[in-house]
Structure 1
Amino acid sequence: MDTTHKAQVIANEKNLLEAMKTNNVELLDRLLHDDLLFNGPDGKTATKAMDMANYRSGNINLRTVKSSDLMLNAIDDDIVVAVTVEIQGNYLGQEINGKFRYLRVWKLFENDWKVIAGSVVALNSDS
């Protein structure tokens, strides 16, 4: 794997989590591809437009967003990331306090890495 690409995606992962925590919709807009599909822990598939609307609503207030157990795999010009994220806060009126395992696919478009696909599952408290 190209170490520059790896470093760029790791930096973007950190930026993405910070954008989630701070409701930075401008940064989220830059990091997410317009045709993104994302499967949530409830099994429903969301688009970028749906995700952005949720963040713009102001009803996402995350106090803690900490990552661990990051793994990267490069496949041609895509990088697949698996990462555990501890989240505490409120998401659209629902309290969240737990660990989640995210899988994201980052694709290089000219000089910008964007998330083109992803999913998240809740982890048991002993995971």
Structure 2
Amino acid sequence: MAVIAVLGVRGTVRAEGQAGSTAHEHKRTLHPKRAEREEVEALEHQWEKAMLAGDVATMDRLLSDDYLGVTITGDLLTKNQQLDRMRDRQLMMTKLQTTESRIKLIGHIAIVTSLAQISGQMDGKAVDGSFRYTRVYQRLSNGSWRITSFEATRVQPGYRLGQHPDSETGQE
């Protein structure tokens, strides 16, 4: 009996091992949401590096063909327009640091919100400050993620939710 029990355990371990799952696949099976979050976080880092380096090839790979982005000035850009701005150096980032990142997963969609401290130039003018942004990723049928939408809003200095910046001085 003892021999059978040992063989049974060894057989089970062997069968699990033969499943051939890597640590990443195993983690994805046990914690699919965590694995998806980590994938999206990695893509966010790739995007940041591409922005700082002006890496149009990486941006082209990350953006969906039907991408629409709203810039900090309110302009609406397609994928081709965004890539052209980077190629033509109309947009150059020298600093891009994100904090307060949150990822919300809904089916095949990932919504990322973050606070970004940026410095650089846009259309020949200096751009500096804090911006809150939302980037939307869609998981394609092949399992890869693409950025389908982006929007950025400047954070007003001194503003807090429910409080107008001039409320402390009594001005309206």
CA contact (8 A) 2:51 2:93 kept: yes
- Tell me the residue number matched to 1:100: 131
Match of 1:115 among 143, 147, 155: 147
In percent, how many aligned pairs have the same letter? 23
Inter-partner Cα distance in structure 1 for 2:111 and 2:80? 22
Equivalent pairs, count:
127
Question: What is the TM-score when the length of structure 1 is the normalising length?
Answer: 0.93
- Tell me the residue number matched to 1:67: 98
CA contact (8 A) 1:98 1:125 kept: no
CA contact (8 A) 2:102 2:113 kept: yes
Change (3 A) 1:39 1:74: same
- Tell me the residue number matched to 2:48: 17
Shift of 1:28: 0.3
Structure 2: gaps (5+ residues): 1-31, 160-172
Counterpart amino acid of residue 155 in structure 2: L
Counterpart amino acid of residue 54 in structure 1: R
CA contact (8 A) 2:86 2:92 kept: no
* Greater relative contact order, per chain length (Cα 8 Å cut-off, separation 6+): 1
Structure having the higher helix fraction is: 2
Instruction: Map Cα deviations across residues 1-46 of structure 1 (whole Å, 9 max, x no partner).
Output: 6111110000000110111111000100011111001112222211
- Tell me the residue number matched to 2:157: 125
Structure having the higher strand fraction is: 1
What RMSD over aligned residues (CA atoms) do the two structures have, in Å?
A: 1.3
